[in-house]
Chains A and B, each alone.
Chain A
Amino acid sequence: EAQVTQNPRYLITVTGKKLTVTCSQNMNHEYMSWYRQDPGLGLRQIYYSMNVEVTDKGDVPEGYKVSRKEKRNFPLILESPSPNQTSLYFCASSWRTGGNSPLHFGNGTRLTVT
């Protein structure tokens, strides 16, 4: 089954404790991206990647890191999480660079930073 898999689904952590949210897709998609969803703000792009070893900042990259060492994986790293990073996170992928291909989304990761 074609899918984007995020883990974990729920995560509660404390300020400053490094964490990684994993994202994997099995569709051989070139483009992958991370979004955060906050009430009243919709989805905001954090980082995106157009292919292996090619990543770029989205609209809200501060406090996040990503890597794209393999085509299928695109982990999101929070080196020192803070409470303002409490949010619902979505990973997404598409066949080509995001412009003309619809995104396939993972099921989301709800992160709480205390």
Chain B
Amino acid sequence: AQKVTQAQTEISVVEKEDVTLDCVYETRDTTYYLFWYKQPPSGELVFLIRRNSFDEQNEISGRYSWNFQKSTSSFNFTITASQVVDSAVYFCALSETDYKLSFGAGTTVTVRA
């Protein structure tokens, strides 16, 4: 069974629009970690954020914000006022106590000028 589901395969927006990427996870562990990674067209994978299961505070970093809700097992990512440089594939990932890291299938974001 897929542990991390990113239901949106592709999202296309016009510059300055907001875009929200959904991530739903599945785990029986009480201690776990959630991550978001970005893969720009150049192909490298870049760490964006880590959240542990005990910290449900939302986080904002510049134009990026994350909404973690344990009640719905979701860890959604919003880009505010999108820019062309935000065009990338974004991956949500879950790490459980067995030390494996499970990635979602990724959401491709295209920001048009």
Q: Which residues of A contact B (CB under 8 A)?
A: 31, 33, 35, 40-45, 48, 50, 56, 58-59, 88, 90, 92, 97-100, 102-105, 107-108
Which of B4, B35, B103 has the most chain A CB atoms closer than 10 A to its own CB?
B103
Residues of B within 8 A of A90 (CB): 45
Bound-state Cα–Cα, A90 to B95, Å: 17
With A103-B47, A105-B44 as known contacts, state yes or no: A42 contacts B100, CB within 8 Å: no
Q: Which residue of A lies closest to B44 (CB)?
A: A107
Determine how close the nearest CB of chain B comes to the CB of A81; give it in whole angstroms. 21
B104 pairs with A42, CB closer than 8 A? yes
Q: Which residues of chain B are near A104, meaning CB under 8 Å?
A: 47
| 15 A/B residue pairs, CB under 8 Å, sorted by A | A33-B101, A35-B103, A41-B105, A42-B103, A42-B105, A43-B45, A45-B101, A59-B100, A92-B45, A97-B99, A98-B99, A98-B100, A99-B96, A103-B45, A105-B45
Q: Please report the C-alpha to C-alpha distance between residue A92 and residue B37 in the assembled complex, in whole angstroms.
A: 13
Give chain A residues whose Cβ lies under 8 Å from the Cβ of B45.
43, 90, 92, 103, 105
Of A40, A41, A43, A99, which is within 8 A of B99 by CB?
A99
Q: A42-B91, A42-B105 are in contact. Are A100 and B33 (CB under 8 A)?
A: yes
Residue B97 at the A interface, CB < 8 A? yes
A100 close to B43 (CB less than 8 A): no
CB distance from B8 to the nearest CB of A (A): 13
A100 with B52, Cβ < 8 A, contacts A42-B105, A44-B103, A48-B99 known: yes
Q: Please determine whether A50 and B99 come into contact, CB atoms closer than 8 angstroms.
A: yes
Which B residues are CB-close (under 8 A) to A98?
Answer: 95, 99-101
- How far, in whole Å, are A102 and B47 apart by their CA atoms in the complex? 7
Q: A98-B99, A100-B52, A102-B35 are in contact. List 8 more A-B contacts (CB 8 A).
A: A45-B100, A59-B102, A88-B43, A100-B95, A102-B47, A103-B45, A105-B45, A108-B43
Tell me if B50 counts as interface (CB < 8 A to partner A): yes
Residue of B45, B105, B106 most packed against chain A (CB within 10 A): B45
The answer on a CB contact under 8 Å between B43 and A107 is yes
